[in-house]
Amino acid sequence: MSRVDQFQSLLAPTTPHPLALDVAKAKGSFIYDKQGRKLLDLVAGVSAVSVGHSHPKIRRAVNRQLKKHSHVMVYGEFIQDSVLDYASALTELLEPQLSSVYLVNSGTEAIEGALKLAKAVTGRTQIIAAHTAYHGNTYGSLSLMDYKERVNPFRPLLPDVAHIRFNEVEDLKHITTRTAAVILETIQGGAGFISPVNGYLKAVKRRCESVGALLILDEIQPGFGRTGKWFAYQHYECTPDILVVGKGMAGGFPVGAFISSKEHMQLLSTQPKLGHITTFGGHPVIAAASHATLDIIKSERLLQKTLEKERLIREQLRHPLIKEIRGKGLMLALIFEKSEIADYLVLEGLKNELILFWLLYEKKAVRFTPPLTISEKELALGCKKILQLLDKFVN
């Protein structure tokens, strides 16, 4: 049995045709396969490997913590240095009203916790999400999606969910005194890296405040420096009531968190008691990796460098087939006229030692989300290969 056959036989599939890159190791901006190829990674584990593969500072932090202990007790019962230190470092980056952190295992679990918290705080049931939103695949998160092809096989879903159009202020009238929370991706990911415009997020927040609803912002993908600020909402001067984070938070380790005020968060311990619980959330080894990731972003000045790298990409990636480059920082999407070009670029890129990937809904897009640590030389190499491939497509 071949390695690919074994892979498809033993591991449950997510698509009929996985890329099936046979990984040997990964370091920095590169993944090395079992055939000895060195592939430039412009995806970073779908924005998760924020500070590059196998960063030595993360390895050292993980090893230090492993020498002390790994899992000792379910979340919230024992005081653990790495967890407490990380929560302190993280909240220092946030506004005062975002002072209490609930650490979980993934972004979608953090969304689930945020939805529960909003209902506990408001006593209401309606959740409003955006059309073409993506917040994860567990049942609560899936219920926020309006992509019928993906959700219909799993109905019934969470009731009392409504949808509004992203960037359409006219739709804010649907946010009422029945609404527990409005949940939005600060930058819509699966829909094509669509950024808020014309003060949209501020308008949503004002409407929420006027009717007593909470604003949840999903920063799972744009968070932790990917857009050139610690969190994308800081570009738009709109602080959420509940902030949801994940992906790049631990430099490639599984993690997520939802963050709110202490006043709000304490309801999960009393209304009811054990209102949200997790065994492995707040894992001390993951917390150590998360803290190291913050330190790397700070010490290597990656926030400033990310915006500089965005400018370089936009300058270098000019081609008749690229109709638009959407997004901010190193959360970018190349938009083409038809999906065939996107498919070609991803598949031919893999043959040419270049890792690119698709977006969830926007079939005419290719993701460009490299590690924040990628060098200018590596970026230039990636841009050059993309242009060469697009030239071949034309010819």
Average pLDDT over residues 341-347: 98
Among candidates 175, 94, 90, which has minimal Cα distance to 130?
175
- Supply the pLDDT for residue 36: 97
Lowest-pLDDT range of 13-22, 50-59, 102-111, 284-293: 13-22
C-alpha torsion angle, residues 174, 94, 136, 356 (rounded to 10): 120
Q: What's the pLDDT at 126? A: 98
Q: What is the pLDDT of residue 196?
A: 98
| SS3 call for 20 | coil
Q: Percent of the chain having pLDDT more than 90? A: 97
Answer whether 87's CB lies under 8 Å from 260's CB.
no
Q: State residue 340's pLDDT score.
A: 98
Q: Which pTM was predicted?
A: 0.97
pLDDT of the residue at 1: 83
pLDDT band, very low/low/confident/very high, at 141 (cuts 50, 70, 90) = very high
Residue 56: pLDDT over 90: yes
Give the pLDDT confidence score for residue 264 in this predicted structure.
98
> Quick check: helix, strand or coil at residue 379?
helix
How confident is the prediction for the chain on average, in pLDDT?
97
> Which helix (DSSP H) or strand (DSSP E) does residue 284 occupy?
helix 284-299
Over the stretch 216-269, which tens digit does the pLDDT of each residue have? 999 999 999 999 999 999 999 999 999 999 999 999 999 999 999 999 999 999
Based on the number of CB atoms within 10 Å of its own CB, is 296 exposed (0-12), middle (13-18) or buried (19 or more)?
Answer: buried
Average pLDDT over residues 276-282: 96
Which pLDDT does position 389 carry in this prediction? 98
What average pLDDT does the segment 199-221 reach?
98
**Structure-derived torsion over alpha carbons of residues 38, 7, 254, 61, reported in degrees to the nearest 10:** -50
Q: Is 108 exposed, middle or buried (0-12, 13-18, 19+ CB in 10 A)?
A: buried
All structural domains of the chain with their residue ranges: 14-54+302-333+346-388, 56-299
Confidence label for 395 from pLDDT (cuts 50, 70 and 90): confident
Tell me which CATH code domain 56-299 carries. 3.40.640.10
Q: 54 pLDDT exceeds 90?
A: yes
For residue 169, pLDDT over 90 is answered with yes
| Residue environment code for 73-86, b if the CB has 16+ CB neighbours within 10 A, otherwise e | eebbeeebebbeeb
CATH number for the domain whose boundaries are 14-54+302-333+346-388: 3.90.1150.10
Contacts 24+ apart (CB under 8 A), 301-308: 302/51, 302/225, 302/372, 302/373, 303/225, 303/228, 303/229, 303/230, 304/228, 305/372, 306/225, 306/226, 306/227, 306/228, 306/330, 306/372, 307/228
pLDDT at 63: 98
